[in-house]
Chain A
């Protein structure tokens, strides 16, 4: 009885080991199953989903106009003080003073890509871009100015 159990134990053990070896053997011989993506080589084929959150960018149209009113809603929504908005006062043709965006400072090194600023923006002026290769040699390069030079607010955006 003891011997019978001893031998059946051995057979079951060897069977279970062979089962695992069959699986690894299968993958060894079936190279189609390989899932490796060779990253820097496949940059062209790399399609990130449109919702991917890589960094905050400000949308500019062809006339170099953006939709940011300088309301600082994003700055308030940001949990890490990533965004700093510097405003100025524009003089409208009617001669009225109007608050407008001067500089949209964005600290990429502080950003956690939580999307709260984009959610908070009432005019959809900013969005998340799909770029993800952010490494630079100097940290100061990560502090970005998001509004392009010479850009102004689009007509009709309040």
Chain B
């Protein structure tokens, strides 16, 4: 029942059967759009709740526990509060850009959701350059952040936005390079191909040393790319009060917040697809019976489990580490991560040519 395979196909066939192709396509667009928006809302609620609970337990607290059973509806109540709050636009701000910025950030993360494979055969758009597309789209969000920082006409916002620009541009490199190691091993940029290639074992096991190094670098780089602590330079609440969204309130602030959490989800989903096989169950080589048992767990569960495990690791980082300084942040990228990922790329190429992976 939880296996989503076939649902998309049957809907597609039924629509094409009932309507003419143009209308069928249009109604599919609408359905996908609705699904994505619903997913956004759900992700926002679930991830914020998760973050608050994770942080609470690490800080020897209980966390939200008043609204609903175990505090489950706390985020819902918070969202309601944000929706009814006044969306202020400061007097000196550039009104058009100020109001546009949250939507740019949100659309960027919405677009990046396209190639994510949620389950076997359940994907919005399996485009042949999936990984490249995600890398490209995820850098668009920096435009939104810069826009927000500049248009706010606030010095804290401007500083936060500039930091964010420097940070995302640099960390894009090592994220891209670590993704490339898997692309080299697979030989394809298409997400479904990458997942299919892990049928007899996930890349983190099959690709051994280069894959593990790439995974660690990927994890650090995406933490930085999503502006998460310990790399939350753009917000850095003890330095810049709230960084680029200092002036935002109400729903516009909520959109930034939502985009941040959806971005985490997306990068973790991509990370899961690259290194842990996405929806692919845990298979070991040709142990047919073992693999068969693993197949009983639906692919959507595998995907969600892996993604949320990665999200948990990123949250774990946030609630343990102090924040880096901006120059140390760039040092880490240019002096450590980039050289290591370059060397790792060479190593991977060598391994791939020699066929020294399983």
**Distance (whole angstroms) from the CB of A79 to the closest CB of chain B:** 37
Which residue of chain A has its CB nearest to the CB of B63? A36
B320: chain A residues within 8 A (beta carbon): 17, 20-21, 23-24
Mask of B31-73 contacts with A, CB within 8 angstroms, 1/0: 0000000000000000000000010011111100100000000
User: Are A28 and B57 touching (Cβ within 8 A)?
Assistant: yes
Interface residues on chain B, number (Cβ under 8 Å): 14
Instruction: Judge whether B321 and A17 touch: CB under 8 Å.
Output: yes
Q: Are B336 and A20 neighbours in the complex by a CB distance under 8 Å? A: no
By a CB distance below 8 angstroms, the chain B residues around A28 are 54, 57-58, 316
Question: Does B319 belong to the interface (CB within 8 Å)?
Answer: yes
Using a Cβ–Cβ cut-off of 8 Å, how many residues does chain A contribute to the interface with B?
Answer: 15
Most B-side CB within 10 Å, residue of A21, A28, A38: A28
Q: Is the CB of B60 within 8 A of A33?
A: yes
Q: In the complex the two chains form, is B58's CB within 8 Å of A27's CB?
A: yes
Indicate the member of B59, B62, B319, B320 with the most A CB atoms within 10 Å: B320
Residues 11 to 42 of chain A near chain B (Cβ within 8 Å)? 17, 20-21, 23-25, 27-28, 31, 33-36, 38
Q: Are A24 and B316 in contact (CB under 8 A)?
A: yes
Q: Are B62 and A24 in contact (CB under 8 A)?
A: no
DSSP majority for the B interface?
Answer: loop
For A38, the chain B residues whose CB sits under 8 A away are 62, 65
Which of the residues A10, A17, A24, A34 comes within 8 Å of B61, measured between beta carbons? A34
Among B65, B319, B336, point to the contact of A24 (Cβ < 8 A): B319
B334 vs chain A, min Cβ distance (A)? 14
Q: How far is the CB of A91 from chain B (nearest CB, A)?
A: 60
Q: Are B62 and A21 in contact (CB under 8 A)?
A: no
Which A-chain residue is minimally distant from B322 (CB atoms)?
A20
Query: Whole-angstrom distance between the alpha carbons of A73 and B60 in the complex?
Result: 47
Q: Are A24 and B58 in contact (CB under 8 A)?
A: yes
Complex: how many Å from CA A23 to CA B60? 11
- The CA of A73 and the CA of B308, in the complex, are separated in Å by 67
User: Which residues of B (94-139) have their CB < 8 Å from a CB of A?
Assistant: none
Please, what's the 1-or-0 string for B62-92, where 1 marks a CB less than 8 Å from any CB in chain A?
1001000000000000000000000000000
- Option from B62, B316, B317, B336 in Cβ contact (under 8 Å) with A36: B62
Residues of B within 8 Å of A25, CB to CB, are 58, 316
CB closest residue in chain A, given B57: A28
Distance between Cα atoms of A23 and B319 in the complex (Å): 11
CA distance A38 to B60 in the complex (A): 13
Interface string of B304-347 (1 = CB under 8 A from A): 00000000000011011100000000000000100000000000
Do residues A27 and B59 form an inter-chain contact, with CB atoms below 8 A?
A: yes
Task: State which residues 224-275 of B face A: CB under 8 Å.
Answer: none
Question: Do the beta carbons of A21 and B59 come within 8 Å of each other?
Answer: no
- A131 shortest CB reach to chain B, Å: 25
A21 to B350, CA, bound (A): 34
- A25–B54 alpha-carbon span in the complex (Å): 10
Q: Which residues of chain A are within 8 angstroms of B58 by Cβ–Cβ distance?
A: 24-25, 27-28
**How far does the Cβ of A38 sit from chain B's closest Cβ, in whole Å?**
8
Within 8 A of A (CB), among B139-182: none
A40 to chain B, nearest CB (A): 10
How far is B223's CA from A17's CA once the two chains are assembled, in angstroms?
15
Return the CB mask of B198-215 against A: 1 if under 8 Å, else 0: 000000000000000000
Distance between Cα atoms of A81 and B60 in the complex (Å): 43
Question: How distant is B69 from chain A, measured CB to nearest CB, in Å?
Answer: 15
Residues of A within 8 A of B (CB): 10, 17, 20-21, 23-25, 27-28, 31, 33-36, 38
What are the 5 tightest A-B residue pairs by CB atom distance, in nearest-first order? Answer: A24-B58, A24-B320, A36-B62, A28-B57, A20-B320
On B, residues with C-beta under 8 Å from A are 54, 57-62, 65, 316-317, 319-321, 336
A to B CB contacts below 8 Å, 23 in the list: A17-B320, A20-B320, A21-B320, A23-B320, A24-B58, A24-B319, A25-B316, A27-B57, A27-B58, A27-B59, A28-B57, A28-B58, A33-B60, A34-B57, A34-B60, A34-B61, A34-B62, A35-B60, A35-B61, A36-B60, A36-B61, A38-B62, A38-B65
Known: A21-B317, A28-B57, A38-B65. 15 other contacts (CB 8 A): A20-B321, A21-B320, A23-B320, A24-B320, A27-B57, A27-B59, A28-B58, A28-B316, A31-B57, A34-B57, A34-B61, A35-B60, A36-B61, A36-B62, A38-B62
